[in-house]
């Protein structure tokens, strides 16, 4: 149960970047804790953003460059570009 937050975050991240095998593994581990993982569901205005996508979008809105966003979030600049 203590790992639910980390497993949820891992599932969302892997799902967002298209790493289906890892997303499925995180979902299985999350189900083992008694919780279910949800895939992103399109909204009427497009796709709902994951927590990481929202954070990247806000930092970009605030004027940070892709490398600056990547350094702040400990991800690659390519991952930032993919999310944008």
pTM of structure: 0.46
Higher per-residue confidence, 3 vs 60: 60
Identify the band that residue 48 occupies on the pLDDT scale cut at 50, 70 and 90. Answer: confident
**How many residues are there in the chain?**
84
- In whole angstroms, give the CA distance from residue 16 to residue 38: 12
Domain limits of the chain? 1-42, 49-84
**E strand segments, 1-84:** 42-43, 46-47
């Amino acid at each position: 149960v203590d790992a639910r937050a980390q497993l949820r975050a891992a599932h969302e991240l892997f799902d967002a970047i298209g790493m289906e095998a890892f997303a499925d593994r995180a979902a299985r581990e999350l189900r083992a804790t008694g919780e279910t993982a949800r895939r992103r569901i399109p909204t009427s205005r497009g796709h709902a953003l994951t927590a990481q996508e929202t954070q990247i979008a806000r930092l970009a809105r605030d004027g940070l460059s892709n490398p600056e966003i990547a350094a702040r979030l400990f991800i690659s600049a390519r991952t930032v570009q993919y999310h944008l």
